[in-house]
Structure 1
Amino acid sequence: MKKLGDILAAVAAAYAVIGAVAIALMMLHITADVIGKFVFNRPLPGTIPIVSQFYMVIATFLPLAMVERANGHISVEIIVTHFPKRVQDFIAMLASALGTIIFALLTWRALIEAGRKYDVGTFSYENGHKVLTWPTYYIVPIGTALLTLVLFYKLACYFTGHSDGPETGDDLATKGAA
């Protein structure tokens, strides 16, 4: 079970790095476009579809699993923190179970949609330049599939009582500082 957790952590970290690289490339691309537009009167062709349909999709969907491993998704704990530990654990287990089901369905549906976009060769047109956008539709199921696996792993840890359970953000920060 620990080996599986380590593999999921490594893949999630790699996806997060790819998401961070996409953000850096997006900033460079936009800067180059602005300089090209206002200094040389020549904007980079296809900037809007590349930024909105490549960089942003990568930066949004690939890091999802890493955020889940760090328990970094938004949660409202005003009432739950007053419940007994056993009830809190049950709610966390239920959230993992529901998340696993919902994101598995989302992955499946996104994969079907990506296949459809591939079949028709989806593209975007900007300033006379054609930018193929169908490949970005595969980023969504790739990111949500890993998130589904992380949620399922968390659920398995709850059921088995495995000590290598999901790490909290504090645990990750402590490991990074050590």
Structure 2
Amino acid sequence: MYLIGRILAVVVKVITWTGMVAIILMMTQITADVAGKLLFNQPLPGTIALVSNYYMVFVAFIPLAFVETRNGHITVEVVTEFLPRHVQRHLYSWTYLLSAVVFGLLAYQTGKEAMTSYAAGTFMVEQQIKVITWPSYFLLPVGCGLMTLVVVYRWGLYATGARSGLGEVPTV
């Protein structure tokens, strides 16, 4: 299990770095677009299409698994905070399976949608520029699929008591 966790940790870090590069590119492109519009009355064509269809999808879905390894997702503990620690740990760990089902279904469904968009050659036109958008549809199943792998791995650690190689922050 430890080796699987190390491999998964590397994949999560590489994917997260691509998300960080996307954020830098988005900031650069938006800055250049605004500067071009204000200084030269010539905005960069396709900026809105690229930001909304590529960069924002990267920002929203690619870091899901990384945030999970850091216990950064929002939790609401109205009742469970009054339970003993060992009960909290068991309840928290079983939510991994529920999360795996939800994110697995999301990965599957968004993967089907990505294939449909690929087959149709989905694109949009902005300022007389054709922006191909079908590749961005594949970011959703990648992000949701990686999140599924992380929560399944974390549940496997809970079930077996094995040592983690993921480098995650402990839950409870």
TM interval, shorter chain, is over 0.9
Q: Does 1:168 align with 2:169?
A: yes
Match of 2:57 in 1: 57
Name the counterpart of 2:145. 145
User: Where does residue 97 of structure 2 map in the other structure?
Assistant: 97
Aligned partners of 1:46 and 1:129 also within 8 Å = yes
Alignment partner of 1:39: what SS? Answer: helix
User: Residues of 1 paired with 2:38 and 2:149: CA distance?
Assistant: 46
Tell me the residue number matched to 1:29. Answer: 29
1:136 aligned partner, one-letter code: S
Contact 1:12 1:66 in 2 (8 A): yes
Residue of structure 2 equivalent to 1:157? 157
TM-score norm. by structure 2 comes to 0.94
Say whether residues 1:46 and 2:27 are aligned partners: no
Q: Does 1:127 align with 2:109?
A: no
1:86 Cα offset (Å): 2.3
Quote the residue 1:10 is aligned against. Answer: 10
1:108 aligns to what? 108
What is the identity, as a one-letter code, of the residue corresponding to 1:113? E
Corresponding position of 1:72? 72
Structure 1 unaligned residues grouped into runs of 5+: 171-178
Shift of 1:16: 1.2
CA distance in 2, matches of 1:63, 1:169: 18
Query: Structure 2 vs 1, CA of residues 169 and 55 (structure 1 numbering), >3 Å: closer, same or farther?
Result: farther
**One-letter code aligned to 1:152:** V
Q: Report Cα offsets for 1:30-59 as digits up to 9, x if no partner.
A: 000011111111110100010011111012
Contact persistence 2:97–2:152 (CA under 8 A): yes
Q: Give the partner amino acid of 1:8.
A: L
CA distance, structure 2, for counterparts of residue 54 and residue 120 of structure 1: 18
Matched residue type, 2:68? E
Question: What fraction of aligned residue pairs are identical, expressed as a percent?
Answer: 45
Report the alpha carbon displacement of residue 80 of structure 1 after superposing the two structures with TM: 1.6
Query: Structure 1 runs of 4+ off > 4 angstroms?
Result: none
- The Cα shift of 1:79 comes to 2.9
SS in 1 for 2:124: strand
Whose relative contact order is higher, 1 or 2, with alpha carbons under 8 Å and at least 6 apart?
2
CA contact (8 A) 1:45 1:129 kept: yes
8 Å Cα contact 1:114-1:138 kept in structure 2: yes
- Matched positions, count: 170
TM-score using structure 1 length: 0.91
Task: Report deviation, 1:9.
Answer: 1.0
Deviation larger for 77-86 or 111-120: 77-86
Shifted more, 15-24 versus 129-138: the winner is: 15-24
Contact 2:9 2:165 in 1 (8 A): no
